[in-house]
Chains A and B, each alone.
Chain A
Amino acid sequence: MILSTMGKALSSSLTIENSCSGPKTSRVLYVLTPFSCYLVFPRYKHTVNFKYNCDNTVVLLSGVQWVLVVSNIDLTTNVPIVSPSTFLGLSIKDFIVNINNDYRYLKMGYYVSLHAETLGNHVIPASGNIIDANRIPIFLLRSSKAGIPVMSYTVTSSVKQIISEVGFPVVIFAVNPLIYDGFKIAKNRSSLYRAMKSLSMNYKFAVCAIPLRGEIFSFRSIFGKCELESDARKVSERVYGVFKIPICKLHAQRVDGKVYLCGLQPVKKEELTPLDLKLISEEIFLMSRHGDPSIV
């Protein structure tokens, strides 16, 4: 009955552990479902733990390396997808791809990765990377350590320090728990005071000040891919290599033709184009076939 809800099962020996009635052995070669045939088949193992919820709503497989996508975005892919809140109630053991437009700390995107890690799963993105990527100074520090060109930055809550150490014009990013998107450009002392007052929440928190040396621009990065020229594309790919954030918006500066990374922020759902969704689906499909290259 379970298998019929799953799809077609081909013949061989397989241990099936039903979470309601305990383990049992059945004759199936692999479970061929509309979404998992190409996932299970290449890494087929003879013992597969097979679980399903008592209400038959979700089917869980483990013992095989396959991809489970947890997403809050409607995707056109054949890979199994569960919603973030459903996933938090599961104890699945697999490679998890966490697709979310908003990976901020304390938001669902964060909790999905955290839950996956607690279960001992490999997950993209890792919860630690989520925190670091959304804290601009840490994001820039780790990017710089990975050899990505970044602008110099100062973390401070002192206007005087910014004026003396960074000068004008300057880009101010918030480093506080509540403001997470965007930045302000200050070209003179009064606009700097306004930006500081707002982004430091009345000087309660520090800000990240970056000198504005060229043109600042923002672009969406989907699995490290973007539609811009090769320099920006390289930055995008390398940021993905370090933080593995599948969907984000990157801020960068172009100075003398060279691209310097400045910051990262979440993408709003409505900003995602049909082309972006197609790209996400394709990347998931490829990942489900070849796995995550970072898994050794």
Chain B
Amino acid sequence: MTQVLSKIACFVERYNFTDPREENALQNFKSTAEKLGHEFSFMFKERISDIPNYDAVFIRATTDPLYTAYIVSKTAWELGLRVVDDPESIKICGNKVHLYTLFKKHDVPHIPTVFLTKDELHHRRLVEIFKEFGKPVVLKAPYTSFSRYVEKVACETSFREVAKRFFRKSDVLVVQKFMPTAFDWRVGVLDGEVLYVCKYMIPKGRWKHGVKLRGKPTFIWGRTVTMKKENTPAKLKEVALKACNIIGNGLYGVDIKEFGGQYVVVEVNDNPSIYAGYEDLRNRDIYEKIIKFLVN
């Protein structure tokens, strides 16, 4: 009987298995971990109380301080387990106000950003914002993920309408300059090193990678073009690593826009998407690297 080196719990939700590309990636994690001599089990929210039975927790369900994934991460952390994503990364990346505040503080090149409180939702402030950033501007709820709760507004009326909707949940919003590009770079980073580089293409006639069709619940996503790490600009990787350094040393996906020859960070995502045949296309070793990081 072979000895199990570490017991890894992979926290997932049902939706992680709805897309075959993601399901295949999860199976790749499982088989890689088992090849390396570890036990790898999928853990759903019904079995959170089993966390103390494991040595490490790998979170693949969507993370946010308000979601169950944070409970899992923090519980594992408090119990002294290795965990990806760690609660501090979730706390920072899960709130764009926090993230951009750190970008400003540490001089990370990022999309020009201001914050808006409920008290500031008045004509004079909106005029100032439009004057500073031009029209349209992008309004982001701090809890945005997968391109949701990010909207483009070009007039005061729509600004107020979107802001009021986002203010229902958060007392502070993010307002950014609109910077249209044909694609966003996605740089996967693990433990301060670049893991993979992709281009997330923007669907034709749209302005963000994921778009909800009007009147339909489904999202359409732009193509993913995977690059060889060696063939991507050094400055891009440098900016990505700088952005990750202020957050931690876990697993991150950094979204970067190339605009006027400059690289500006859109955001850093903890828990970045990893789909079989996409992010791993030119970097087959990402599963092994992540598992090794998790159990070391």
Q: Which residue of A lies closest to B49 (CB)?
A: A154
Residues of A within 8 A of B118 (CB): 85
> Contacting chain B: which of A134-142, A217-225, A247-255, A263-271?
A134-142
Within 8 A of B (CB), among A165-210: 175-177, 205-206
**Interface size classification for chain B:** 20 to 34
Asked if A158 and B117 make an inter-chain contact with CB atoms under 8 angstroms apart, the answer reads: no
Known: A85-B117, A105-B65, A115-B101. A137 touches B172 (CB 8 A): no
Given A138-B78, A141-B78, are A157 and B171 also a contact pair (CB < 8 Å)? no
Q: Is the CB of A85 within 8 A of B120?
A: yes
CB neighbours (8 Å) of A177 from chain B are 64, 66-67, 169
Q: Does B108 contact A (CB under 8 A)?
A: no
Are A138 and B68 in touch, CB under 8 angstroms? no
- Chain A residues, CB < 8 A from B170: 106-107
> Please, how many angstroms separate the alpha-carbon atoms of A129 and B247 in the complex?
18
Q: Mark A40-66, 1 if CB is under 8 A from B, else 0.
A: 000000000000000000000000000
Q: Return B219 CB to nearest CB of chain A, in Å.
A: 18
Bound complex: CA A158 to CA B64 (Å): 22
Cβ-defined contact, B172 with A88, below 8 A: yes
* A155 and B71 within 8 A (CB): yes
Q: A141: which B residues are within 8 A, CB to CB?
A: 74-75, 78
Q: Is A158 a contact partner of B46 (Cβ separation < 8 A)?
A: yes
Give CA–CA (A108, B173) in the complex, Å. 11
What's the Cα separation between A114 and B172 when bound, in Å? Answer: 12
Are A88 and B117 in contact (CB-based, < 8 A)? yes
B118 to chain A, nearest CB (A): 8
Question: Which of chain A's residues have a CB closer than 8 A to the CB of B91?
Answer: 127-128, 131
Query: Pick the contact of B169 from A88, A106, A131, A135 — CB < 8 Å?
Result: A106
Residue on A nearest B51 in the bound complex, by CB: A155
B71 and A161 contacting across the interface, CB-CB below 8 Å: no
Asked if A111 lies at the interface with its beta carbon under 8 angstroms from chain B, I say: yes
Interface size class of A (residues with CB under 8 A): 20 to 34
Contacts of A142 in B (CB 8 A): 78
Tell whether, in the assembled complex, residue A156 and residue B45 are in contact, meaning their CB atoms are under 8 Å apart.
yes
CB of B10, distance to nearest CB on chain A (Å): 17
Known: A155-B71, A156-B48, A177-B66. A114 touches B78 (CB 8 A): no
CB distance from A262 to the nearest CB of B (A): 16
User: What is the CB-to-nearest-CB distance from A145 to chain B, in angstroms, rounded to a whole number?
Assistant: 7
Q: Which of B47, B75, B120, B171 contacts A138 (CB 8 A)?
A: B75
Contact A155 B49 (CB under 8 A): yes
Does B206 interact with chain A (Cβ within 8 Å)? no
Nearest CB on B from A119, distance (A)? 9
Q: Chain A contacts of B64 at CB under 8 A?
A: 177
Residues of A within 8 A of B48 (CB): 137, 155-156, 206
Is the beta-carbon distance between B71 and A206 smaller than 8 angstroms?
A: yes
Which B residues are CB-close (under 8 A) to A135? Answer: 65, 70-71, 74
- Measured in the bound complex, the distance between the Cα atoms of B48 and A127 in whole Å is 24
Asked if B142 CB lies within 8 Å of chain A CBs, one says yes
Whether B178 is near chain A, meaning CB under 8 Å from some CB there, is no
Measured CB to CB, the nearest residue on chain B to A158 is B46
Complex CA–CA separation, A194 to B65 (angstroms): 26
Rounded to whole Å, the gap between the CB of A114 and the closest CB of chain B is 6
Contacts of A85 in B (CB 8 A): 117-120
Cβ contacts under 8 Å, A138 to chain B: 70-71, 74-75, 78
Indicate whether A118 reaches chain B with its CB closer than 8 angstroms.
yes
* B-chain residues with CB within 8 Å of residue A206 when the two chains form the complex: 45, 48, 68, 71
Contact of B293 with A by CB under 8 A: no
Instruction: Enumerate chain B interface residues (CB-CB to A < 8 A).
Output: 45-49, 64-68, 70-71, 74-75, 78, 88, 91, 95, 97-98, 101-102, 105, 115, 117-120, 142-143, 169-172
List 18 A-B residue pairs with CB atoms under 8 Å apart, sorted by A's residue number.
A88-B115, A106-B95, A108-B171, A111-B97, A114-B98, A118-B98, A127-B91, A135-B65, A135-B74, A138-B78, A141-B74, A155-B45, A156-B45, A157-B45, A158-B46, A176-B66, A205-B45, A206-B45
